[in-house]
Amino acid sequence: MTCDEELNYHEKTLVEFTYRENNFDIIPPFVGVLFADLFGNAIMTYEYDNNSSYGSIKSYLTDNKESLLEIDLVSMYFSSFSIFASNNNIRDLSYLELHGSNLKIQISFLYDKFMIIIFLNSNTILSPKTQEQILKHFKDLIKNHGDSLVDFNNMDSKGVIRDLSYKGRSWLKKLNKNYIQDFKKVYLMKSDYIESFIEKLDPIIKNELDEYLQNVPEDIITDLSREIKDKIHNEVFELVSELFKK
């Protein structure tokens, strides 16, 4: 049974709202992965095809659908970071992260040979465990198919890489499915925690207001109490959100 099947109407409405608020209906948590060498040669991609509910990596990198970037140009651009580091005494560069309002990009450099360029929804928050799982996936690929990935222009290598890319698309879809399910569960955990906390505060706020505002009409006290609770709710939600990122 999926997370959605276990939810009541109120919970479904709540998670659907935050799902759309984070633009996961338009931009998946994981847009795709570009695997390249340190010279910027794109070796393979994990991405959605344009016939699916989401688009390819390139479709998210430009607003002009008639003029899509070549994927090789993308990897060549990011390879310049590695070249810059090696030419300017920046030692052991292993990771970079770029943030935009719609996308963020994580770049990992592996074994002084390869780059793993992960394109993410800007609202995607990766736990250390998930990051490690992703890196392990590609480290295992390099371990098992290193010769083909290094000699990627060889005819035999192209067949291997084509199969890896096909499997990678399924891996990407599963990664997104698991992330969205976990996202909804964690959001509901935060919401339940906050609601429980606010319910305990409600009589305290009301009693304090009644004591110090004895001559104020009841309806004004009720409105003031609600406003205070709403502000506390928002502050606590931000705090709990930060805690759940850890």
| Burial (0-12, 13-18, 19+ Cβ within 10 Å), 246 | exposed
Fold of domain 26-183: Beta-Lactamase (3.30.450)
Give the β-pairing of 95-99 and 42-47: unpaired
| Residue 203: its H or E element | helix 155-212
Q: What is the pLDDT of residues 52-79, one digit of tens each?
A: 788 888 888 776 555 556 777 788 887 7
What is the reported pLDDT for 184? 82
Summarised one tens digit per residue, pLDDT across range 184-198 is: 887 776 666 666 766
pLDDT reported for residue 97 = 84
Global pTM? 0.74
Q: What's the confidence (pLDDT) of residue 51? A: 66
Instruction: Report the residue count for the chain.
Output: 246
pLDDT of residue 210: 73
State the pLDDT at residue 219: 76
- Where are the domains positioned within the chain? 26-183
Q: Which residues of the chain have pLDDT under 70?
A: 1-12, 14, 50-51, 63-69, 83, 85-87, 89-93, 189-195, 197-198, 233-246
pLDDT at 214: 74
pLDDT at position 10: 55
